Amino acid sequence: MVQDVPCVRDERPGVSHGSPTVSAGVDCKETILMHHETAAASPLKGVHHIGLTVRDLEESIRFYRDILGMTVVRRRRIQEDYVSQQTGFDGVTLDAASLHIRAGVSPSIEIVQYVSHAGEPAVPSTNRPGTSHLCLTTDDLRAAHRTLSAQGVRFKSDPVHITAGPNTGGLVAYFLDPDGYTLELFQPPSDKENH
């Protein structure tokens, strides 16, 4: 006999509440969020930039600027002592570019090529601890998928319908940059705010 069992859900004020039950035997992955919890007062104020290390800066600029449509706002060669201290690589030389997804939209994306002290490429598979992905929003994921695929962008799948959780009704797809870094395209459900 299948029984309904309690499912944890978001109980914060102003959040719409879904069904509080799931069928027995189904793993419920959501967590009760009664209020925003922090361990202590945070000294953090926001996100300044997202950094990606790349093999070839020019190739990555072509991808992020010419294919994805981002704007390069700064390019520079970096050979400063403080960067050697920061990275732990004595005498390091970096080529870097900062991009904005759209003018005035923060945080910026900083792509960096190690001109000296270059390491071996990482395995950026999303199931490996320590890896990450960058999620970008779009109003029309199917059109973006067609356009980017026609330009040779490698997708892991066609657009996928989100069938559970807070983004039910949205669309999502993973794709790869020239170094195999995972990017996500996300089209929020029509009744949700982009975030």
- The answer, yes or no, to whether the previous bond of 107 is cis (omega within 30 of 0) is yes
Express as a percent the part of the chain with pLDDT over 70.
77
Question: 109: helix, coil or strand?
Answer: strand
Instruction: Count the helices and strands in the chain (H runs, E runs).
Output: 3, 11
pLDDT at 8: 53
Higher per-residue pLDDT: 8 or 1 = 8
The pTM is what? 0.77
- Give the span between the Cα atoms of 195 and 185, in whole angstroms: 12
Q: Which two tokens stand for residue 7?
A: 């499912």
Would you say residue 18 has pLDDT above 60?
no
Residues 137, 142, 148, 153, Cα dihedral to 10°: 90
Query: Please, where in the chain does CATH 3.10.180.10 lie?
Result: 49-114, 134-187
Place of tokens 């944890």: 8
- Give the span between the Cα atoms of 186 and 174, in whole angstroms: 9
Q: What are the distances in angstroms from CA 106 to CA 51, 77, 82, 84?
A: 13, 22, 25, 26
User: Of 131, 138, 160, which is closest to residue 68 (Cα–Cα)?
Assistant: 138
Give the residue-averaged pLDDT of 35-47: 79
Would you say residue 194 has pLDDT above 50?
no
The predicted-structure confidence for 23-34, as pLDDT tens digits, reads as follows: 444 455 555 555
Please state whether 180 falls in left (phi above 0), alpha (psi between -120 and 50) or beta: left
Mean pLDDT of the chain: 85
- Domain covering 49-114: architecture: Roll (3.10)
pLDDT at 150: 97
The predicted-structure confidence for 114-125, as pLDDT tens digits, reads as follows: 999 999 999 989
Give the residue-averaged pLDDT of 8-23: 49
Would you say residue 139 has pLDDT above 70?
yes
Express as a percent the part of the chain with pLDDT over 90.
69
Confidence class of residue 106 from pLDDT cuts 50, 70 and 90? confident
pLDDT at 30: 55
Tell me which of 3.40.50.2300, 3.10.180.10, 3.40.50.300, 1.10.8.590 is the CATH number of domain 134-187: 3.10.180.10
